Amino acid sequence: MGFTAGIIGLPNVGKSSVLNLLAGHKAARTGAKPGLTRGRQWVRVRSDLELLDTPGLLWPKVESEEQGLKLALLAVVGERAYRDERVAAFLLEVMHRHPSAVWQQRYGATAGAPDRLQQLEAIGRQRGFLLKGGSVDLARTARVLIEEFRRGALGRITLDPP
């Protein structure tokens, strides 16, 4: 007699990666974007163990804007569900409330700008993300900032109060 179990959780948290690790081979598609697992898939891990890989599950309603921004920062929701500039501004607010040495070292004086849009603009200017005419490419700056957060390049950050 064998065992069966399912792997469930939020989108883009590593369910398929865990399954692949347990199976010892690439049995399920994985990637950095949510929504790669489109349906249920049974994978035999051993002769006596079969695992069910499932698409990510979200609660039916996002209760607050802050909750939605956190989900966007963590790549739990698809990119079409949010504006990068708004998510980056939220990240800057989080960084302002919980400053880290990595953040201060990476962005220096720009980390202390009082207005989040001005701060995003200063970061873009510092990084050289300029459009024709010298204005800052805020969309590119926001995307890069979000990706740096997701890769861990901004240090260890919690989105909830410690």
Pick from 2-6, 9-13, 74-78, 88-92 the range whose average pLDDT is largest: 88-92
pLDDT of 17: 84
DSSP labels for 69-128? HHHHHTT-S-GGGS-HHHHHHHHHHHHHHS--HHHHHHHGGGGG-SSHHHHHHHHHHHHT
pLDDT per position as a tens digit, 33-85: 666 666 788 888 888 888 888 877 766 677 888 988 998 898 887 777 789 99
How far is 119 from 61, CA to CA, in rounded Å? Answer: 31
Residue spans per domain, the chain: 3-53, 65-151
CB 138 within 8 A of CB 85: yes
How far is 158 from 152, CA to CA, in rounded Å? Answer: 11
- Assess whether pLDDT exceeds 90 at residue 103: no
CB 3 within 8 A of CB 41: no
For the domain 65-151, what is the CATH code? 1.10.1580.10
Q: Can you tell me the mean pLDDT for 97-110?
A: 71
The residue among 111 and 57 whose pLDDT is bigger is 57
